[in-house]
Amino acid sequence: MGFNMRYLELKRKIREVRMWAIQGIAEAGSGHPGASFSAAEIMGTLYFRRMRHDPKNHSWDERDYFINSKAHSAPGFYSTLAVAGYFPPEEIKTLRKLGSRLQGHPVRYSERQKHHSVPGIEYSGGSEGIGLSVGVGIALASRLDGKKNRVYVLIGDGESNEGQIWEASMAAAKFKLDNLVAVLDRNRVQQDGFTEDIMPLDPTKNKWEAFNWQVFEVDGHRVEQLMDALNKASQVKDKPVMIVANTVKGNGVRHMANNPQWHGKAPTKKQTPVLMEELESEFFIAPSIIAGEKENYEQKIKKAEREGVELIHLDVMDGRFVPNNTFLADTIKKLRPSTSLPFDAHLMIEKPIDHIDEYIDARCDIITVHAEACMEDEFAVIQERCLAAGISPGIAINPETDVPKWLYPHLPDLDVVIVMSVNPGFAGQKFIPETLPKMVAVSKELREHGFNGYIEADGGIDATTLQSVYDAGARIFVAGNAVYGNADIHSAMIQLRHKAAVTLEKKLLEHATRLGIRYDWMKVRKHILIPYASELGIEEELNAIK
Amino acid sequence: MLLSSEKKTADMRGAYGDALVELGKSDPRVVCVGGDTTDSLKTKKFGDKFPDRMFNVGIAEANLVSIAAGLSIAGKVAFASTYAAFIPGRAVDQIRNTICYPALNVKLVVSHGGLTVGPDGASHQQIEDLSTMRAIPNMRVIIPADAVAVKHLIKTIADTPGPFYMRLARPTTELIYSESAPAEQFTIGKGNVLTDGSDATIIACGLMVGKALEAAALLKREHGLSVRVVDMFTIKPIDTELVAKCAKETGAIVTAEEHNIIGGLGSAVSETAGETCPVPIKRVGVRDTFGESARDEEVDALLEQYGLTATEIAKSVIETRSRVR
């Protein structure tokens, strides 16, 4: 068995993992936030989507193995296991304390070690550079037993200094272990500084290729890219697979990101709530490809991809639910191979129940239907089909529509609610400001009734309106004209991200101020705040901080 | 009958290879990892018989023992073998953290322990292994005296879950034990009293067991002393009961090992006697110095130069007895 989580569910769970990890580290007063965060998506994608495993039966004979060679990422690893259901997440707050099951570095679980470990941990790490060899051993044994399982080994770039990594690499190639997949958390930072200063690893990909591995390189914070590589890995024959996952150490907390100082340092307990808010504020920019000049959709997708957008928003219009026509499932199906970016399909169509299978078949990652276009029983079927297919279900409401009461029982499994800030049907409309208080109210109402998903703001979102919808609780921003309406998409994206950053920094600073730690926060955050100082009006204050 | 009645020689490595093949037949979980020394270790015999269960990983001992760890995690009984200079010599960290900490079912069976490795010299003369391996929690340390002991002990460690370190010697040696010695004589943690005596005890292991028997005979012949000889093939867990008993009944102990006098059998016996029944003790072994090359025909001279002889043991017995109050 496994989890096969939906895209947005996966993102949410990984967010939870980071939140637990930071709480554990803060409680312990030591630990490694950097490595926990750089590997969060890698571990999350494996545990919540890819691997066959069963938290209720951790020694299941057919399970896939996960060997965490870079064991100092323990807080992230423990949190991943806890969120997966191996033990109660609250226990993470005992991390590194005397008597805890959560040792500074994870210990293989066994009857003998049950007081110092938790089920699900296969390998005792802590000394670097060993786990890949252990993975080789497990892969050899699994093959000998004719098992169909796979062995995943997470290694670090710092630990790649160890010669044993390369001994294991040669052995895996010699034995043609195509049931072995290594993932390199390439965050480029080790304890003393940047890897390329301490002991250069580049050209990383070439090295592994020269060692006769099949190598895929991905952005290690993009679960869709990780999934893509993992899927490809399962097709490789007679060779072990290395996925070079380019990551940012400390990713998720801006002042920790790519900062060697945070390799093994804990935040203060007082700052934890602010860090939690930052993690909760993770957002997605979803350009709508119907906006802007009429050009090839594929090209628009490519452009967006180069700008590092999180989602591709697909406005499906049938000329009946809305007066306009755009494209239908067949077009999405054709576009699907052009990118690994998740497809956020917004169906502005009549009777979505009659067409839902076409959109599932087109491999959308999120499918949102309009509340105005379906009855409760129809929506129930739509949601069920999406869930069964591992697709995030969503519902959209027009500016004048309230959250239908019949939606309440379906909220716990709903991943998206689009709160329209224009009346759907055309690109390029003006944002309706009255939808802002509505978004706040809707957000509150939904959370009260068990909604854990994301609020998506759609309609007239640009650099001017982004701040208000972000503040109002939206985390997915559909940007149409704000992206494709510009000749220079790159500048447009920078502007949007800048706006989002300013909004976030303002929010967090206010939070820190409420907690009475404004000075400490500004001090730890100084290098991040500098570019926004004038917009936040904190130039003098910031200059005064040594 | 426990002791061999005829003069017969056999090599421990050959016995290991044969025992492994037998194990392989009866237990499909048994696998072996080698490090470019499979011919020398005789694990090649196992590989020839079970090619898919033998993994030669080349000259990479840290990798070797860690792969064995992985095999055991996935349910195998993993034997890992090369020369003692390299396992544990080059892989103590992996043995500690990866194998012993989680108490994995890995059996480190190595040869070329001690000074008798032949002309290779000090780099290959592992005289610290009993000490390093003994100090790691969960590890059990075995050093058989001859090929008969090897045969029985290999089976025992395969059938006993958890990590073991077993050190074999390179030379072909005279059999101590009768080939028909019963398997129960080779119980982990129980020493064998080979000859009884009341004036002193020689506690020996490995190749030095033969020298201990010689020394006892010499002491009887020349000094009329009745000396007990114990083969303490389990260094850890040491047979505390037997050590205490020997201390109490004979009043003096001499230990003999092909190892540094620091940290090995002598230390284990001294610690145990000190805590149970303190008596004068003398440790015969390499006196905290590095060895040197010697051609095979010069091995006896080498051992003599480093004090690993029956004469040295006998002298030590007399000296130790003189300190008995």
| Pairing between β-strand A476-479 and β-strand A284-287 as defined by DSSP bridges | parallel
Asked whether residue A1 carries a pLDDT value surpassing 80, the answer given is: no
> Which chain B residues are Cβ-neighbours of A137 within 8 angstroms?
33, 66-74, 78
Residue written as tokens 């062995």? Answer: A151
The whole-angstrom separation of Cα A103 and Cα A484 is 50
Binning pLDDT at 50, 70 and 90, where does residue B118 land?
A: confident
Compute the average pLDDT of residues B257-265.
98
> Model confidence over A342-376: pLDDT tens digits?
999 999 999 999 999 999 999 999 999 999 999 99
CB contact under 8 A, A168 and B66: yes
Which helix (H) or strand (E) covers residue B31, if one does?
Answer: strand B30-34
The predicted pLDDT at position A321 comes to 95
Compute the average pLDDT of residues A326-337.
96
| Pairing between β-strand A416-420 and β-strand A454-458 as defined by DSSP bridges | parallel
CB contact under 8 A, B73 and A139: no
- Out of A122, A144, A167, closest to residue B73 by CB: A122
Binning pLDDT at 50, 70 and 90, where does residue A428 land?
A: confident
- Out of B52, B58, B67, closest to residue A137 by CB: B67
The predicted pLDDT at position A261 comes to 86
Q: How far is B62 from chain A (nearest CA, A)?
A: 7
ipTM of the complex: 0.96
Tally the C-alpha atoms within 13 A of residue A321's C-alpha that lie toward its C-beta. 22
The whole-angstrom separation of Cα B208 and Cα B261 is 13
CB contact under 8 A, B70 and A139: yes
Compute the average pLDDT of residues B132-161.
98
Compute the average pLDDT of residues A247-269.
91
Nearest residue of chain A to residue B106 (CA atoms):
A137
The predicted pLDDT at position A393 comes to 98
The predicted pLDDT at position A491 comes to 94
Sign of the alpha-carbon dihedral angle for B222, B227, B232, B235: negative
The predicted pLDDT at position A162 comes to 98
Question: What number of C-beta contacts closer than 8 Å exist between A and B?
Answer: 109
The whole-angstrom separation of Cα A346 and Cα A448 is 25
> Which chain A residues are Cβ-neighbours of B103 within 8 angstroms?
110, 112-113
Binning pLDDT at 50, 70 and 90, where does residue A2 land?
A: confident
Compute the average pLDDT of residues A223-238.
97
Nearest residue of chain A to residue B60 (CA atoms):
A167
The predicted pLDDT at position A33 comes to 87
Asked whether residue A427 carries a pLDDT value surpassing 90, the answer given is: no
Contact A47, A84 (CB under 8 A): yes
Binning pLDDT at 50, 70 and 90, where does residue B258 land?
A: very high
Share of chain A above pLDDT 70, in %: 100
Measure CA of the first residue to CA of the last residue in chain A; give whole Å.
54
CB contact under 8 A, B73 and A170: no
Q: How far is B269 from chain A (nearest CA, A)?
A: 28
Q: How far is B253 from chain A (nearest CA, A)?
A: 36
Compute the average pLDDT of residues A12-39.
93
Asked whether residue A424 carries a pLDDT value surpassing 90, the answer given is: no
Taking only Cα atoms into account, the Rg of chain B, rounded to an integer number of angstroms, comes to 19
> Which chain A residues are Cβ-neighbours of B72 within 8 angstroms?
137
Task: Compare A482 and A382 and report the one with higher pLDDT.
Answer: A382
Domains of chain B: 9-174 (3.40.50.970), 192-320 (3.40.50.920)
Q: Tell me which of A113, A138, A151, A161 to substitute to probe the interface with B (most B C-beta atoms closer than 10 Å).
A: A138
B61 catalytic per annotation: yes
CB contact under 8 A, B103 and A110: yes
Sign of the alpha-carbon dihedral angle for A67, A69, A74, A80: negative
DSSP designation for A268: P
The whole-angstrom separation of Cα B298 and Cα A474 is 84
Nearest residue of chain B to residue A147 (CA atoms):
B74
Q: How many helices (H) and strands (E) does chain B have?
A: 12, 14
Superfamily designation of domain A7-277: Thiamin diphosphate (ThDP)-binding fold, Pyr/PP domains (3.40.50.970)
Contact A157, A188 (CB under 8 A): yes
The whole-angstrom separation of Cα A369 and Cα A392 is 11
Q: List the structure tokens of A48.
A: 């919540």
The predicted pLDDT at position B57 comes to 98
- Position A26, amino acid: A
The model's pTM: 0.95
Compute the average pLDDT of residues B199-211.
98
Alpha-carbon distances, residue A481 vs A285, A290, A429, A486 (angstroms): 13, 9, 9, 7
Q: How far is B159 from chain A (nearest CA, A)?
A: 18
Compute the average pLDDT of residues A141-149.
97
Asked whether residue A109 carries a pLDDT value surpassing 90, the answer given is: yes
Contact A488, A479 (CB under 8 A): no
Q: What's the CA dihedral at A138, B61, B38, B104 to 10 degrees?
A: -40
> Model confidence over A468-526: pLDDT tens digits?
999 999 999 999 989 998 889 999 999 999 999 999 999 999 999 999 999 999 999 99
The whole-angstrom separation of Cα A43 and Cα A63 is 16
Binning pLDDT at 50, 70 and 90, where does residue A546 land?
A: confident
Domain boundaries defined on chain A? 7-277, 283-487, 515-543
Contact A102, A94 (CB under 8 A): yes
Compute the average pLDDT of residues A124-135.
97
* CATH number assigned to the domain covering A283-487: 3.20.20.70
The single residue of B61, B128, B257, B312 carrying the catalytic annotation is B61
Task: Compare B224 and A293 and report the one with higher pLDDT.
Answer: B224
Q: How far is B24 from chain A (nearest CA, A)?
A: 14
Compute the average pLDDT of residues A316-331.
94
